[in-house]
Amino acid sequence: MPEPRFWIGVASRDHVRRGVGEGFAQLNHGKARALERMRAGDGLIYYSPVERFGEREPCQRFTAIGRVVGEVYRVDAGGGFRPYRSDVAFFAEAREVPIRPLLEALDFIHDARRWGYAFRFGHLEIGREDFERIARAMLGAPPAF
């Protein structure tokens, strides 16, 4: 089995909560490309810059963590919207954590003054060490991968 990879997906908190409740990940407004880079066994953490999609109320927290368990598939979400998704087993015991206290410790943040730049593409691959740092804050200990 190949070594797992670790990812951060960016989505509003309300969208993350829906995905957690239904057990799926959806990235970049339903485009397939980001999800196609992931495979079953990979770790996924969601970062939510805002509370609700289309609004400006800041959230700036890591809001969910889980393990990818399925392949990419497409769904009919109604109104002609057909997003791509992957199934994810989210850790129900995870707590949301603010990003700011972690900024100096995260290797993927190259400049703590411009930390939002890292999230500009809606998803990114991170190292195991950063995944474990965030997982420790969310779960108390990193999950086994």
- What are the tens digits of pLDDT across the range 16-30? 999 999 999 999 999
pTM recorded for the entire structure = 0.95
Give the tokens for residue 35.
């999800």
Reported as a single tens digit per residue, the pLDDT across 44-81 is: 999 999 999 989 999 999 999 999 998 999 999 999 99
Which residues lie below 8 Å from residue 136, measured CB to CB, with a gap of 6+?
142
- In whole angstroms, give the CA distance from residue 136 to residue 60: 18
Contacts of 21 (CB under 8 A, 6+ apart): none
Domains of the chain, first to last = 6-139 (3.10.590.10)
